Amino acid sequence: MIEISDEEKQCIDEQINESQEVTQVQKDTERKLLRVLFWLGNNMRNLGYAEEFIKKNIHQHAVKIKFADDRWEYAKKLLLKYIQISKKIQNN
């Protein structure tokens, strides 16, 4: 499992709380899942992916992440995939 610091968790929670795209019910009942999804989105954003691309791809993977045995590990594998894609794009 990926360990995120308390500071990073607090930052992600603030992003979740401020998000207009997530309902209050989701914020209350799916907080752990949302932390994984927002963490993945933040890291993809840091790699330079466009916001629309991030939203589309995270939405496509959300169910698989939700039902994965280890959500963080699944998200980490996805991030590594996007890192490889980003490197290939940069090398071309």
pLDDT by residue, tens only, the chain of 92 residues? 678 899 999 999 999 999 999 999 999 999 999 999 999 999 999 999 999 999 999 999 999 999 999 999 999 999 999 999 888 887 87
Q: Please say whether the beta carbons of 37 and 65 come within 8 A.
A: yes
Q: Estimate the crossing angle of helix 71-91 against helix 31-46, to 10 degrees.
A: 10
The model's pTM is 0.90
- Residues sharing a CB contact under 8 Å with residue 56, sequence separation 6 or more, in sequence order: none
d(CA 84, CA 5): 25
> From the DSSP assignment, how many helices (H) and strands (E) are in the chain?
5, 0
The gap from C-alpha 88 to its chain's centroid, in whole angstroms, comes to 21
pLDDT at 1: 65
